[in-house]
Copies of this chain bind each other. A is one copy, B any other.
């Protein structure tokens, strides 16, 4: 599988599904806005609330996966990336992915303590197209 085709697919999606393992050992999943920033296929940056359940879960257990899915007329495509998520609350990270319109979500702007950054580092992936699946590795 050509990794560039997978990256192009991911960059076109508007929604990312991000998964964690909670305190009781259950998988959790949530739809989020697409990553703010993608650095190659290694690092994916998301904005979120510092007070959110997800942040608590990743601080406790960084194991994660992110998933992109498109249900097409002809074929359905899904890409799952496995890796770890780190939570960043430092101003440099927060500045990096901030967009003007974010004040709608985070009152007071980029210094709002309830705004933070999730950085996902991909380690491996799996590509699904209709009934076929293929695993792939991510260059580190």
Contact = CB atoms under 8 A, between A and B. Distances in A.
A30 B63 contact: no
A19 B28 contact: yes
Contacts of A17: 17, 29, 67, 69
A21 B29 contact: no
Contact of A19 (B24, B27, B61, B63): B27
Contacts of A27: 19-21, 27-29, 63-65
Interface in A21-37: 21, 24-31
A14 interface: yes
A136 interface: no
Contacts of A53: 133
Interface stretch (A38-46, A76-84, A86-94, A95-103): A76-84
